[in-house]
Amino acid sequence: MNVAIDVRELTKAYRTYQKEPGFLGAIRGLAHRRYKETLAARAVSLQVNEGELVGFLGPNGAGKTTVLKMLSGLLYPTSGQARVLGYVPWKRQNEFKRQFALVLGQKNQLWWDLPAAESLELNRVIYGLDRASSQKTIDELTELLDVRDKLDTMVRELSLGERMKMELIAALLHRPKVLFLDEPTIGLDVLSQKKVREFLREYTARHRITTLLTSHYMQDIEELCERVIIIDHGQVFFDGALQDIIDRLATHKIVTLTRRKGLGPCDLAAFGQILEQTPTEVRLKIPRDRIVAASRDLISALEVDDFTVEDVPIEDIIRSVFSERQEEMRAK
């Protein structure tokens, strides 16, 4: 399989001025300035194959957006190498710029005071696209995202979800081969998130678009990505199947049981950690290797009316990954 994104030891360092406190500190700084170097990305190496949709995870400030900006040519790295579709991104060759798109969930590329259709027309002209083929693309995308009736609405009058959908259409208008998505569902309501996820899953698979996706909504990652790359303090410390993390760290299951007559005096803590409890319902966190025996004993002891067993939410699993990483960093 062809490698679409190839990154080797990519590093980005920022140098910031450290001002001493007070007026005298400001005066001293005029003659002798002290600087602090911050590594936003530290020897990042990764490969993404053609057509892959990969989750790019990390806490705030981990370096995700910095890496995406270097891969799209917006930032020049301090050191290291990268090739996207065979091009060096920061050389900003026209041939490269026509083959990728970057969507930043907190940045707008559409013109605020123009109808969405006119912003898309402007993008068409900028990319030198044929009007007929562009209209065909717009028809396809607006149908998939269910925003065809919003094309003549001013961008500033669109809801956040509608605006995000239009941003995706603008990014995909020139049919890029590589797509960088930075928090595309941030701030969206549940229905809009679901629609965007369904669209990305179908459209990227249909057109074999290589995609790097960052998101703090774990449902985005769980539904769209089989593989994840996790970065923290500018370094990649995990690159593999999402299921591998779940299998390694999902050491417990969540049991929810309901008894309409009341739970009574039963010592529920003996079966596992009590997460929530009401007079008629309790949620317990029980080790996986004890789940069968504990479930059998709970049902026998309480004669429950309803009983469910589910995995620990993926958000909690990823959070534990970051916690482990923080402990490793402190140990060093």
Query: Which helix (H) or strand (E) covers residue 24, if one does?
Result: helix 22-31
Measured CA to CA, the distance from residue 161 to residue 144 in angstroms comes to 14
* Alpha-carbon distances of 45 from 41, 62, 83, 234, rounded to whole Å: 10, 15, 11, 11
3-state helix, strand, coil in the chain (%, to 5): 40, 30, 30
Task: Judge whether 108 and 166 are in contact, CB under 8 Å.
Answer: no
**Is it true that 3-9+45-247 and 252-311 share their CATH fold?**
no
Domain range list for the chain: 3-9+45-247, 252-311
Name the amino acid, one letter, at 172: L
332 residues of the chain, pLDDT tens digit each: 689 999 999 999 988 777 778 777 677 777 777 778 888 888 999 999 999 999 998 887 888 889 999 999 999 999 999 999 999 999 999 999 999 999 887 777 888 888 999 999 998 998 889 999 999 999 999 988 888 999 999 989 988 888 889 999 999 999 999 999 988 887 788 888 888 899 999 999 999 999 999 988 878 888 899 899 988 888 888 888 988 887 777 778 888 888 888 877 778 888 888 888 888 888 888 888 888 888 888 888 877 888 888 877 776 777 777 776 666 666 66
Instruction: Look at domain 252-311 and name its CATH class.
Output: alpha beta
pTM (predicted TM-score): 0.79
Cα–Cα distance between 121 and 101 in angstroms, integer? 17
Which of 2.40.128.20, 3.40.720.10, 3.40.50.300, 3.30.1310.10 would CATH assign to domain 3-9+45-247? 3.40.50.300
